[in-house]
Structure 1
Amino acid sequence: MSKNTIWLFKMAWKDAKASKVRLLLFMASIILGIAAVVSIQLFSTNLKDNIKLQSKALMGADYNINSRQEPTERAQAIIDSLQPEAREINFVSMIAFPKNGGTKLAKVRGLEGDFPFYGTIDTQPTSAATTYQELGGALVDATLMLQFDVKAGDSIKVGNVTLPVLGTLKAIPGSTAISTSVAPPIIIPYRFLEKTELLQFGSRKEYQFFYTTSENFDLEQFEKVIDPQLKAEKADLDTHTSTSQRLGQRYDNVGKFLNLAAFVALLLGCIGIASSVHIYIKEKLKSIAVLKCMGASRLQSFLIFLIQIAGIGVIGGLVGALIGVGVQELFPYLLKDFLPFSVEISISAQPILIGVFLGLFMSVLFALLPLLRTWYVSPLEVLRVNEKESPEPLKVRIFVIAAVLLFLFMFSYWLLRDIGYALGFMLATLIAFAALAGVALLCIKGLKKYFPQRWGFTARQSLLNLFRPNNQTVVLVVAIGLGTCLISTLYFTKDILLAKTEVGQSSESANIIILDVQSDQQDAIEERITTKGLPIVNSIPIVTMRIHKIKGRLANDLRQDSTKQMRNWVLNHEFRSTYRDTMTSSEELLEGEWTSHAKTKDPILVSISDNLAEDGISIGDAITFNVQGVLMETKVGSIRKVDWRQLQPNFNIVFPAGALEQAPQFRVISTNAKDASTSAALQRDLVAEFPNVSIIDLRQVYTIIEDILDKVSWVINFMAFFSIVTGIIVLIGSVRTSKYQRIKESVLLRTLGAKNAQILKITALEYLFLGLLGSLVGIILALLSSLCLALLLFNEPFTPSLIPFLVFLPGITLLVLGIGLSNIQTVLRSSPLEVLRREG
């Protein structure tokens, strides 16, 4: 290493020691941004690796074939030709515990064969997983056994079959904590299914056939050949690779929001870097001019501060990466109820290297524009008193700004994996930056033009500080405003996300839903409900059907048409439709006219949901339905917007009254139980007399959903809080760095005879104006950006929270004011000469 290089590092170190307070705040911006990005990226990588490694164990087989109805003759021929090694029929039904009379909605899985082939059925005792088939017993969900105080040796009643409980079921491939909490699994031998007498008309059942393959078997090619044949027969093929891809996409949605929040934290750090270095270098310009007078070259003076900033970036990136490695351990705990497996966290050197690189790159890049001023400082700056500094060439400025924009785009694309989102986010950031800078410049221009000459000395002096030479109005307003904008946007977005999944309850709405009620059971069940003093909230008929022909084309022909715009699910789906003369509270008429009663001579006018209309179905289109073997000609008479979030039966297709009364059907009956004991008594009586019906107690569902939402809210609030902390530290750094220029001005005022109270008022009014202007404009920009997110991305109505206006606006203003007043405490406590000596 040459002497010149050693001298540069020594000078950088000496100057850094003298400015360590300012540089520590600068480093804090880097640390928090890097910590957020590294922690989330490392967890996302671990999650994807776990899904890939455990994809077979998640499914329990290499592939399976499943059907929502009994396989057709052609589908069964394909299934048999592939020689399934295990099979299953599963359905949701009420099960009873004779020991204490308890009842519960459960998912009954009738298994035959050695499923699972990968992974295990986790039971207590462990032997129950292998002996339940031979001994003819049941495996019951662990939570269910605790809830009803059931132990191995007790019995369980499934329909008309009573089986001994052989063990506790802790886990089985394909189940998640959320799905099992709504309908806990019960496993019984396949041979008992027919005896339960629960597989009746209208029952929701699924047929599954499981297979294994050799290691060299090409599953992707096999899926391309077999899956279209099965889809034509209303069946599906799932492979362990496609299942893991779907899981990855599902958890990518969780990761996208976390990545967005992490990017906000990183962007706040970048703002902190740019604003801190801008003010820091301004203070160093005379020192640089002195260095040049003493013989230092442009390159040497530039490299001294570049080494300083780069060193801080590397240290900040390393510390941030280490913190991120520690923080990401928290995410598996937060998201455990969303994952069907335990995430094994592995630590590698890659995230630490990424953190160090990011710290170095973003610190140098965002500090480059103010750093370039060191290159163009003239030695005459020592003697000259200018209002304007020597500006860097326009080409250089454009190049640096283009590099910053490219970094923002590339990094946001890396995080969000979507060019549209990346461009939109970058454009929104630019608009916010331009708006804040424009507002600050307009205020300066307005103050100059309409300066209040008759105001008192302190008020006039505070306003003069906003447009005096080397003022920091634009820098601080942009830093304060962007920080407030990003923080408030996260807060507004959090409200949109949580409001999107809110579940409402009322004393008049149904909280018990009885499914699979056969036509000959309707009167008896309704009588049992009313004799207990409970209301019949709804009694909804359900008729199953499929689309046979649409717009004159057969559904089978459309399935094979690769140019069609209609999704396959519309052609393959078994629709559960209803008939009625009015719309419900969860529906809104978008197009056409609602038809209440069918007319005998005219075509039947049906109403479809808006999601079906997205597939090119419109008013007046002819649709022929296959209603259990009978073809029914209809036309689309209206299109409804359906709120699928409401916990009540909603339908894609609704027929008018008088159209389907004679069709084979079953019913969904709902009622409202005021308390848990009334609900339990009703369920116990109904299941004892009508074992085929399924009962959903929405009280339990509400509790489960609220628990999930609490966890989602915790994650969202955690990331919002993380960004808020980052933003506050950035604001502290930006405003605190201005201290070193304010000191000399305050000393000059004291030398000219100003009192401490006057200096305090001048400073307070200046920072109050900066804080109020920056935070107000920031919140208004956040309001506009959140409105765009709500309408364009979430497709939800936006009701802004008052928290940013009531908390962030005064809070950030007072924070800026407090930091500004703390900046001049040295001046107020010491004599002018002492302060000048210390700062010099």
Structure 2
Amino acid sequence: MKFARRDLRGSLKGFRIFLACLVLGVAAIAGVGTLSSSITEGLRANGQVILGGDIDIRLTHRAVDDEEHGWIRDQGRTSEVQTLRAMVRDLASDRRTLSELKAVDNAYPLFGSLTMKTDSGAENPEARLEKKDGRYGALIEQGLSDRLEIPLGGQIRIGELDFEVRGIIQSEPDKASQGMALGPRTIISSVALRETGLIQPGSLIRYHYRIALNSGRTVADFYEEASAAFPDAGWRIRDASNGAPGIKRFVERVALFLTLVGLTALVVGGVGVGNAVRAYLEGKISTIATLKCLGASSSFIFRVHYLQVLILAIGGSLIGLILGVGGSVFAAQFLASTLPVPPEINITIGPLLLATAYGLLTATLFTIWPLARARETPAAALFRDIVSAHKRPRPFYLATLGLCFAVLVALAILTSRETWFAFVFVISIVCIFAILILVGHGVQFAARCVPRSSIPSLRLAIANLHRPGAATNSVILSMGLGLTLFVTVALIEGNLTRQVQEQLPEKAPAFFFIDIQSNQLDDFVATAEAVSDVSEVNHVPNMRGRITQVAGVPSEQVTVAPEAKWALRGDRGITYAATPPEGAMIVAGSWWPEDYAGPPLVSMDREIAEGMGLVLGDTLTVNVMGREIEAEIANFREIDWTTMAINFVLVFDTHSLQGAPHSHLATARADGEGENQLFTAITNKFANISVIRMKEALQTVSRILEQLSSAVSAISSITLVTGVLVLAGAFAAGHRKRVYDAVILKVLGATRKDIFITFLLEYALLGLITSVIAAATGWFAAYMVITDILEAKWINLPFTIIATILISVLVTLLFGLLGSWRALGEKVAPVLRSD
């Protein structure tokens, strides 16, 4: 420790890149862990406000019956809310748009507060929504006011009833629990909803019953008694501990991805750590050799320098922790306005310990090799370090390397909630890392084998790729991994965006129509087909159901593949049909006869069925409007979701569901002016039918993809920044050799220009090789994701590949020449005397 401390008092110049790489990786992991736990804590602490109560009971299509209603009211204070989609029309301009409609009672909200901008008077919802002067009141979001240019006091029509706009919603306490919105919010009273004519048999309405439990009652008690009292009610029950499960899942997955990217940056930085240690040891070669000659043991040399690295790693990790926590606090303040509730700053020890462990393990992993080689190399060989071959570390150190690597991988996988995703990510990074190491050795081997060029500068540049101490492996590793991730993300983002912007609109219908009543269907079809430039009016029965059992096992106990989990979350759209849906591809089993009237049968999407481990003949139990229907799987279908046509995961035989109350879903294609004519004709004639314009929906998806890809690209850039730091460190580590090479070449008659051209060619070759390998690896990874995982059509994006190659070559040239500039100006005599 005394020798290590004395050495560190000299200078930390050789460890600047070491510290930068370590600080960046640890800060990213610590910041992400702290921020995600703060957001999760904010969601948990405000669970009652987000959910709207201690308990939320949800039913689709139907309200509770009198017995159920009485039991619910006995549990505590209650509030009843209905949500659905409806068209809102401005009576002044006749403009209309789709809105997310919420009907509330006088007790709403049980927790939190609904704030609004009003002209004057009372702010409570009850007073604003009640009937005055023959009209009920409505509260609308700013987005709806802007879209239809409706001012306060404006008149709107919903269904068959007119409303007066009496407030602009500024804060809706339970908005986060309502799921994805296809339009801006409108709030009316439950009494007014009953007069709009929107409540029809089979209408897609969700009934929510929020409960503030009586004193002394617990959530566990409620679940137990509800299950005993109404086992077949078909209720979907959530409690305040998970008020916004979608947001919570999103935060957890983003946190996982960010943590893994931070770990990747740390591993890439580990290459810089190894370079820094190697460069530091090269500056200490004479000192180490002298100490060995004076009797210092090899283990003493190893302990001294490992202690130095450990002290610096601890210091770098502490700096990273401070920056990470500070960054998470700043990010929490920035995100407060975009989240349903502000994050509760929660600095827990877990994420900080994990980040520190990652930092120390990475430093150890990449330090042991150069230290162990220096330990095993005799003093005489150290004096001839540039040309001498180093000994391989002894088995103990190799075993330690393996142990560090195993612990690092285990931490990344076992501390993750999404174990499979973490496993695939880590394995992918390890494979890319291994490929880049093999490529580095392959480039050096190829450089040795290529014929000697007649051009001196090119011959020297190629020789520099495989000479002792060459930076080839370090450059390919550091830049290659960052560039590979960057290319992969860029190509996936580019493909998805092009799919949405260019291909889907050509195939997609112009509109989706929902809540078409059975007695309206014929009139609706006739009205739509009467509009010029309208074609392919398709319609199917539509209702909602929830999968409760898979092959006889309760759905919450079934082990399901990640890609199929969404099918078990909440209610799913279901339909029935006598004949196979248009364009359906039956890949297993057979369709039932048109006049089938036996036990329930169901057709299922093949991918979802495989994810649930189902085979033909297994059963699936679905709760439809409180009725449990157990159906045998008759066939599997291949569904092409990219057509944007009407597709359902579950299609039942006609006999099983035809008698259930339901509405219909329809699509229609329209060209040119036919779109506006169709929209006007349907919304004028059918007040209850909601119209979703596909162009607007696709634009929303495109915007989300662009925002998501920008965020992911920015996150992946952390790895690229670390790679650039490591690249700078790699060239800095070879500075001593560059100086020596330049001096020898000058002695042999080379001019400064000749040396400059040699270095220029070497760095250009390194950048070109690295970028080509990264581009090829990234292209392959993106191609597999798009074609195999997302099952979409691949679109080549040559500009992304070319831009990557050019950027890589330019960055490598820049850092290489900056690192070598001083070497070009060194005087010959002082260098020769010092060596």
Please tell me whether residue 651 in structure 1 is matched to residue 648 in structure 2.
yes
How many residues are aligned here?
822
Report the CA distance shift for 1:433/1:752 in structure 2 as closer, same or farther (over 3 A): same
Aligned residues of 1:107 and 1:186 also touching (Cα < 8 A): yes
CA distance in 2, matches of 1:525, 1:291: 93
Letter in 2 for 1:42: T
Letter in 2 for 1:175: K
**Partner of residue 108, structure 1:** 101
* Structure 1 range deviating more: 701-710 or 132-141: 132-141
SS at match of 1:212: strand
* Structure 1 range deviating more: 328-337 or 758-767: 328-337
1:232 Cα deviation from its structure 2 partner: 1.8
> Which deviations, in whole Å up to 9, do the C-alpha atoms of 1:301-320 show, x marking residues without a partner?
55664455445435544554
Please tell me whether residue 748 in structure 1 is matched to residue 744 in structure 2.
yes
Aligned residues of 1:85 and 1:113 also touching (Cα < 8 A): no
Report the CA distance shift for 1:571/1:397 in structure 2 as closer, same or farther (over 3 A): closer
Report the CA distance shift for 1:696/1:783 in structure 2 as closer, same or farther (over 3 A): closer
CA distance in 2, matches of 1:652, 1:492: 29
**Partner of residue 121, structure 1:** 114
1:138-153 → structure 2 map (5 Å cutoff): 138-153=138-153
Q: Could you tell me which of 690, 709, 715 is aligned with 1:713? A: 709
Report the CA distance shift for 1:445/1:87 in structure 2 as closer, same or farther (over 3 A): closer
Q: Could you tell me which of 42, 53, 66 is aligned with 2:45? A: 53
1:57 Cα deviation from its structure 2 partner: 0.8
SS at match of 1:116: coil
1:58 Cα deviation from its structure 2 partner: 0.2
Report the CA distance shift for 1:116/1:599 in structure 2 as closer, same or farther (over 3 A): closer
**Partner of residue 505, structure 2:** 506
> Which deviations, in whole Å up to 9, do the C-alpha atoms of 1:196-252 show, x marking residues without a partner?
222112311122222112565331353245247646222222211133556422321
1:63 Cα deviation from its structure 2 partner: 0.4
* Structure 1 range deviating more: 307-316 or 362-371: 307-316
Please tell me whether residue 85 in structure 1 is matched to residue 78 in structure 2.
yes
CA distance in 2, matches of 1:817, 1:354: 37
> Which deviations, in whole Å up to 9, do the C-alpha atoms of 1:577-629 show, x marking residues without a partner?
254766446x544224567x826899998743336634566557799999999
Q: Could you tell me which of 822, 825, 834 is aligned with 1:826? A: 822
**Partner of residue 162, structure 2:** 162
Report the CA distance shift for 1:769/1:669 in structure 2 as closer, same or farther (over 3 A): closer
Q: Could you tell me which of 7, 12, 30 is aligned with 2:8? A: 12
**Partner of residue 517, structure 2:** 518
1:396-435 → structure 2 map (5 Å cutoff): 396-413=396-413, 416-435=416-435
What are the ranges of 5 or more consecutive residues in structure 1 without an aligned counterpart? Answer: 549-553
SS at match of 2:691: strand
1:117 Cα deviation from its structure 2 partner: 1.7
* Structure 1 range deviating more: 198-207 or 429-438: 429-438
Please tell me whether residue 816 in structure 1 is matched to residue 816 in structure 2.
no
Aligned residues of 2:286 and 2:382 also touching (Cα < 8 A): yes
1:476-495 → structure 2 map (5 Å cutoff): 476-492=475-491, 494=493
Aligned residues of 2:361 and 2:404 also touching (Cα < 8 A): no
CA distance in 1, matches of 2:549, 2:383: 87
**Partner of residue 212, structure 1:** 212
**Partner of residue 606, structure 2:** 610
* Percent identity over paired residues: 21
Aligned residues of 1:594 and 1:638 also touching (Cα < 8 A): yes
> Which deviations, in whole Å up to 9, do the C-alpha atoms of 1:151-202 show, x marking residues without a partner?
4433333323333333222232331499685233322222233322221123
1:325-344 → structure 2 map (5 Å cutoff): 325=325, 327-328=327-328, 339-343=339-343
Aligned residues of 1:334 and 1:715 also touching (Cα < 8 A): no
Aligned residues of 2:381 and 2:388 also touching (Cα < 8 A): no
**Partner of residue 99, structure 1:** 92
Aligned residues of 1:767 and 1:817 also touching (Cα < 8 A): yes
Report the CA distance shift for 1:75/1:399 in structure 2 as closer, same or farther (over 3 A): same
CA distance in 2, matches of 1:663, 1:636: 20
CA distance in 2, matches of 1:336, 1:650: 38
Q: Could you tell me which of 635, 638, 643 is aligned with 1:641? A: 638
**Partner of residue 183, structure 1:** 183
CA distance in 2, matches of 1:540, 1:308: 73
* Structure 1 range deviating more: 708-717 or 227-236: 227-236
SS at match of 2:93: coil
Report the CA distance shift for 1:363/1:324 in structure 2 as closer, same or farther (over 3 A): same
> Which deviations, in whole Å up to 9, do the C-alpha atoms of 1:767-821 show, x marking residues without a partner?
4444444443444444455556557766666666545642333432443344334
SS at match of 1:211: strand
Aligned residues of 1:274 and 1:367 also touching (Cα < 8 A): yes
State TM-score, norm by structure 2. 0.83
Report the CA distance shift for 1:420/1:758 in structure 2 as closer, same or farther (over 3 A): same
1:335 Cα deviation from its structure 2 partner: 6.8
SS at match of 2:175: coil
**Partner of residue 728, structure 1:** 724
CA distance in 2, matches of 1:411, 1:663: 51
Q: Could you tell me which of 128, 135, 142 is aligned with 1:132? A: 128
Aligned residues of 1:128 and 1:167 also touching (Cα < 8 A): no
**Partner of residue 551, structure 1:** none
CA distance in 1, matches of 2:477, 2:558: 51
Report the CA distance shift for 1:777/1:29 in structure 2 as closer, same or farther (over 3 A): same
CA distance in 2, matches of 1:178, 1:660: 28
CA distance in 1, matches of 2:729, 2:316: 15
SS at match of 1:269: helix
What are the ranges of 5 or more consecutive residues in structure 2 without an aligned counterpart? Answer: none
Report the CA distance shift for 1:32/1:537 in structure 2 as closer, same or farther (over 3 A): same
Letter in 2 for 1:39: G
> Which deviations, in whole Å up to 9, do the C-alpha atoms of 1:259-303 show, x marking residues without a partner?
232222222212221233234423432332134446766566556
Letter in 1 for 2:18: F
SS at match of 1:137: strand
> Which deviations, in whole Å up to 9, do the C-alpha atoms of 1:713-748 show, x marking residues without a partner?
221121123322222222222133212212112212
CA distance in 2, matches of 1:836, 1:768: 29
CA distance in 1, matches of 2:552, 2:348: 50
SS at match of 1:640: strand
CA distance in 1, matches of 2:482, 2:488: 10
Aligned residues of 1:158 and 1:196 also touching (Cα < 8 A): yes
SS at match of 1:702: helix
CA distance in 1, matches of 2:582, 2:764: 53
Letter in 1 for 2:536: V
Aligned residues of 2:738 and 2:823 also touching (Cα < 8 A): no
Aligned residues of 2:137 and 2:163 also touching (Cα < 8 A): yes
* Structure 1 range deviating more: 184-193 or 339-348: 339-348
SS at match of 1:105: strand
Report the CA distance shift for 1:779/1:312 in structure 2 as closer, same or farther (over 3 A): farther
Please tell me whether residue 42 in structure 1 is matched to residue 34 in structure 2.
yes
Report the CA distance shift for 1:678/1:432 in structure 2 as closer, same or farther (over 3 A): closer
SS at match of 2:509: coil
Aligned residues of 1:543 and 1:664 also touching (Cα < 8 A): no
Q: Could you tell me which of 575, 578, 599 is aligned with 1:577? A: 575
Report the CA distance shift for 1:171/1:371 in structure 2 as closer, same or farther (over 3 A): same
Report the CA distance shift for 1:134/1:415 in structure 2 as closer, same or farther (over 3 A): same
Aligned residues of 2:606 and 2:636 also touching (Cα < 8 A): yes
Report the CA distance shift for 1:648/1:121 in structure 2 as closer, same or farther (over 3 A): farther
Report the CA distance shift for 1:356/1:674 in structure 2 as closer, same or farther (over 3 A): same
Aligned residues of 2:47 and 2:240 also touching (Cα < 8 A): yes
CA distance in 2, matches of 1:383, 1:331: 52
Please tell me whether residue 538 in structure 1 is matched to residue 537 in structure 2.
yes
1:56 Cα deviation from its structure 2 partner: 0.8
SS at match of 2:575: strand
Report the CA distance shift for 1:501/1:414 in structure 2 as closer, same or farther (over 3 A): farther
Letter in 2 for 1:157: R
